Structure 1
């Protein structure tokens, strides 16, 4: 299955927190989108691997994804090396996305920056003919390089290169995040409270979205960083469409 957009996160819920509004909006426009989770989030303080899979599947349905896979890299200890790069290259060549959206390149959690750079390097190597990979069918894969790689803003704030209006899908985006009940919602369990399970964390997400939205004259927005200059074919691309 060829995808228009492939979002990649170091942990299940990274993509929901960073760019699920943009994915939902693009899917509503007829695009095919998928998520790849690099790890199972097994080092998380709350929940289990099993609950994370259930929650990720629930979030996928809410977003409307065409595909979601987990590469089962080691949470906290995966590396940006040849072995891991080739795993991501295989995924890129399998789904041939035009746009890839990945973790920010530096953040509070070491996995975020490491995951961002892993995808950044894999996107380059995926376009090289001499980098050989084999698909699920046992056949050699064709080289593929996405046209654009964006990085969603996570815990630390970075000045965005692109701001996307997600006002019209905000409630759906919120539901996708809340699908991770063990991580973000009071569940009556004995799991300790964490940085992301407090009400203040959810409030901070809304505050950031409002702040970014204000910059472009809308209620809520998501921001992205690009290491590549972004070009347009006409000034029409700078005008927000009615939603």
Structure 2
């Protein structure tokens, strides 16, 4: 539940330009952190209204089901225009208000460049908003009209989407792989359904889901586990001692 001045403190906030971006990119980490007692949440930037399959209404229902599977403490949609939002002051301020509302220690967002132009544009919007959110002179207000406190996440990571990039961080998600897959399959209108009469798309073929599994296996092999997710970071990630490099057996 929201706390003082409408805040809901989260440990981890995942941001996706389209509903299902987060599930495809980092749902394993969200589930794993939630199982460790962390509060996780999702912000979708658009309603995915330009998608070939499904409707805005079905996307909301699917996002709610996916959020239930992941176990999010909060999920909201900022209703930016799919395909036409910009990384400008108006959109930055809207995202800054959300960041200050949830005060996440870590943000995971869209990649900075990808096949879909919305992904890269969203990645840069998230990057800029995370920085600007930490500036006291940038003023935002909650729904009740109260001025929000400045807030800058300690880390911003970017999940790998269509194009492959060498990750800076790889996280073992082997123990939550089935839950991760179920969160993706919650988007029944978007992915492979042999009974669907809607047009086929790039992501609705069975090969697309095969590729998602293959990538997770490949990243897992890099660190000696079954499945993993990879992330990019423009900020160097430091450790306090070499014990942090030891991969614990699951």
- Pairwise TM-score range, normalised by the shorter structure: over 0.9
Deviations along 1:99-149, one digit per CA (max 9) or x if unpaired, are: 000000000000000000000000000000100000122110000000000
Aligned to 1:98: 105
Instruction: Verify: 1:219 aligned to 2:219, yes or no.
Output: no
Aligned to 2:3: none
Q: CA deviation at 1:187?
A: 5.9
SS in 2 for 1:200: helix
Instruction: Verify: 1:171 aligned to 2:178, yes or no.
Output: yes
Corresponding residue to 2:82 among 75, 79, 90: 75
> In the superposition, relative to structure 1, how do residues 187 and 70 fare at CA in structure 2: closer, same or farther (>3 Å)?
farther
Instruction: State the alpha-carbon separation in 2 of the partners of residues 203 and 223 from structure 1.
Output: 17
Aligned to 2:145: 138
TM-score by length of 1: 0.99
Instruction: Give the conservation status (yes or no) of the 8 Å contact 1:181–1:187.
Output: no
Instruction: State the alpha-carbon separation in 2 of the partners of residues 63 and 240 from structure 1.
Output: 24
Aligned to 2:205: 198
SS in 1 for 2:131: helix
Instruction: Verify: 1:184 aligned to 2:156, yes or no.
Output: no
TM alignment of 1:46-125, pairs within 5 A? 46-125=53-132
Q: CA deviation at 1:9?
A: 0.1
Aligned residues: CA RMSD:
0.8
Deviates more, 1:192-201 or 1:182-191: 182-191
- Unpaired segments ≥5 residues, structure 2: 1-7
Instruction: State the alpha-carbon separation in 2 of the partners of residues 164 and 2 from structure 1.
Output: 23
Instruction: State the alpha-carbon separation in 2 of the partners of residues 130 and 71 from structure 1.
Output: 23
Instruction: State the alpha-carbon separation in 2 of the partners of residues 133 and 15 from structure 1.
Output: 26
Moved runs in structure 1, 4+ residues, more than 6 A? Answer: none
Instruction: State the alpha-carbon separation in 2 of the partners of residues 82 and 56 from structure 1.
Output: 27
Corresponding residue to 1:42 among 43, 46, 49: 49
Instruction: State the alpha-carbon separation in 1 of the partners of residues 141 and 78 from structure 2.
Output: 16
Instruction: State the alpha-carbon separation in 2 of the partners of residues 18 and 113 from structure 1.
Output: 14
SS in 1 for 2:195: coil
SS in 1 for 2:190: helix
Instruction: State the alpha-carbon separation in 1 of the partners of residues 229 and 92 from structure 2.
Output: 27
SS in 2 for 1:50: helix
Deviations along 1:146-203, one digit per CA (max 9) or x if unpaired, are: 0000000000000000000000000000000000000013163321001100000000
Aligned residue pairs total 243
Aligned to 1:236: 243
Q: CA deviation at 1:236?
A: 1.4
SS in 2 for 1:129: coil
- Unpaired segments ≥5 residues, structure 1: none
TM-score by length of 2: 0.96
Instruction: State the alpha-carbon separation in 2 of the partners of residues 116 and 58 from structure 1.
Output: 25
